């Protein structure tokens, strides 16, 4: 298997994560980095110990670079993806797929035109807690999924005066698309209707709505709901022995899924570090509920269990080196983006949006 030269576009926090995964891959030979500002490119190169440039064309014109990880700001995702695909590179692009549905569609069109490799960074497909849930669903252990509920309460985690807190749009594409994507994955049916609403914002310096309640109805009759708030702030615990998830849980943070099927249910709980499966049976007087399987994981495995960007990126390098196709087709990710944009319309116009309205 030939080793790859790869490039990471955008060397902020997420870009650093991509560089770390590339360094860990046995299939990556040389790593190049790109930042548009020369001084910033030089600084990131020293900090990350990689070759860097502020000349994007030098990346695109280098025939040895076979794979590009795009971790740039949202506004250039579509443009950089198109350039990389037309230059013959495989692409892993962070979500969102652009700042408009037209930009997302453009990425799909160029992928098809070039017959290129394009995968979007939905790393929760590679996170063990959600992979386990999907495995139980596929094995029929909860029957047919009919209702999927996600409760996600967090603090405002981008900070004041950052490009994320000041940018256009909403958090739906930037962050919540992960959790809408999982609902689509678990239910396994196309979305038919979307209804979304927001309460007044609490975080004054954040440029977007800091809460969303998004409901989906699927063509097979199933429903789902994502209940998100970003104003469950963190208290200033000074005990150095207090573990991060314990601290956040004590502050009222949650990240849970409840997936209900016709024969049972699955509960994933990041803050309890566990996933449980229940079965439902008819009892003599009422429905009976029994926990039949519980899996827990240690703190040391947090990232591979609930946000495995590192493992995703290593796997992408392997797929490209082996000449294989993307495991999560970009067209499927585009369907998640359509749901997100439909939710934004529903927020603004205070109405149910049919997915048929989102066809370009």
**Residues in CB range of 40: below 8 A, 6 or more apart:** 11, 54
Q: What b/e sequence results for 325-341 when a residue is b if at least 16 CB atoms lie within 10 Å of its CB, and e otherwise?
A: ebebebebbbebbbbbb
pLDDT at 169 over 80: no
pLDDT tens-digit map of 132-150? 999 999 999 999 999 999 9
Q: Report which of 126, 60, 125, 121 is spatially closest to residue 92, judged by C-alpha positions.
A: 121
CATH fold, domain 4-120, is: Rossmann fold (3.40.50)
**Is the pLDDT score of 89 beyond 90?**
yes
DSSP output for 216-258: EEETTS-EEEEEEES--PPP----TTS-HHHHHHHTT-EEEEE
Strand order in the sheet with 90-93: 51-53, 28-34, 4-9, 65-70, 90-93, 118-120
User: Does 126-305+339-354 match 4-120 at the fold level?
Assistant: no
Residue 351, C-beta contacts closer than 8 angstroms, at least 6 positions apart: 195
Q: Which two tokens stand for residue 196?
A: 């979304």
Q: Tokens for 140?
A: 């029929």
- Residue 70, CA distances (Å) to 89, 155, 165, 277, 324 in order: 12, 26, 20, 37, 19
Q: What is the pLDDT of residue 45?
A: 96
pLDDT on residue 170? 83
pLDDT for the residue 62: 98
What pLDDT is recorded for position 207? 87
- Fold for domain 126-305+339-354? Dihydrodipicolinate Reductase; domain 2 (3.30.360)
Q: Which residues lie closer than 8 Å to 360 by C-beta, 6 or more apart?
A: 101, 102, 105
Mean pLDDT of the chain: 95
The domain segmentation of the chain, as residue ranges, is 4-120, 126-305+339-354
* CA distances in angstroms from 12 to 21, 29, 147, listed in the order given: 14, 22, 37
In angstroms, rounded to a whole number, what is the distance separating the alpha carbons of residues 9 and 65? 12
pLDDT of residue 242: 76
Contact 120, 95 (CB under 8 A): yes
For residue 55, pLDDT over 90 is answered with yes
Mean pLDDT for the stretch of residues 95-101: 92
């Amino acid at each position: 298997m030939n080793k790859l030269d790869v490039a990471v576009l955008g060397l902020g926090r997420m870009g650093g994560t991509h560089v770390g995964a590339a360094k860990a891959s046995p299939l990556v030979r040389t790593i190049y980095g790109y930042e548009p500002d020369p001084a910033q490119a030089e600084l990131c190169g020293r900090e990350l110990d990689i070759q860097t440039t502020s000349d994007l064309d030098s990346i695109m014109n280098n025939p040895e670079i076979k794979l590009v990880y795009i971790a740039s700001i949202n506004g250039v995702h579509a443009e950089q993806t198109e350039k990389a695909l037309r230059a013959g590179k495989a692409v892993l692009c962070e979500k969102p797929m652009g700042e408009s549905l037209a930009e997302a569609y453009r990425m799909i069109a160029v992928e098809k035109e070039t017959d290129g490799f394009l995968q979007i960074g939905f790393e929760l497909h590679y996170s063990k807690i959600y992979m386990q849930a999907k495995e139980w669903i596929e094995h029929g252990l909860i029957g047919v999924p009919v209702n999927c509920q996600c409760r996600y309460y967090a603090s405002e985690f981008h900070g004041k005066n950052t490009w994320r807190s000041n940018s256009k749009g909403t958090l739906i594409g930037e962050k919540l698309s992960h959790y809408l994507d999982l609902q689509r994955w678990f239910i396994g049916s196309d979305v038919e209707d979307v209804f979304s609403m927001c309460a007044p914002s609490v975080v004054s310096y954040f440029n977007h709505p800091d809460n969303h309640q998004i409901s989906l109805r699927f063509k097979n009759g199933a429903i789902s709901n994502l209940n998100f708030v970003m104003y469950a702030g963190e208290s200033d615990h000074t005990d150095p022995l207090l573990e991060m998830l314990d601290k956040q849980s004590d502050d009222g943070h949650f990240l849970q899924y409840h997936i209900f099927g016709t024969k049972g249910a699955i509960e994933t709980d990041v803050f309890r570090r566990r996933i449980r499966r229940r079965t439902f049976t008819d009892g003599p007087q009422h429905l009976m509920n029994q926990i039949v399987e519980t899996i827990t994981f240690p703190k040391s495995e947090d990232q591979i269990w609930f946000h495995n960007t590192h493992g995703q990126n290593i796997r992408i390098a392997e797929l490209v080196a082996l000449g294989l196709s993307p495991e999560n087709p970009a067209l499927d990710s585009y369907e998640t983006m359509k749901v997100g944009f439909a939710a934004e319309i529903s927020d603004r116009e205070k109405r149910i949006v049919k997915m048929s309205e989102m066809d370009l």
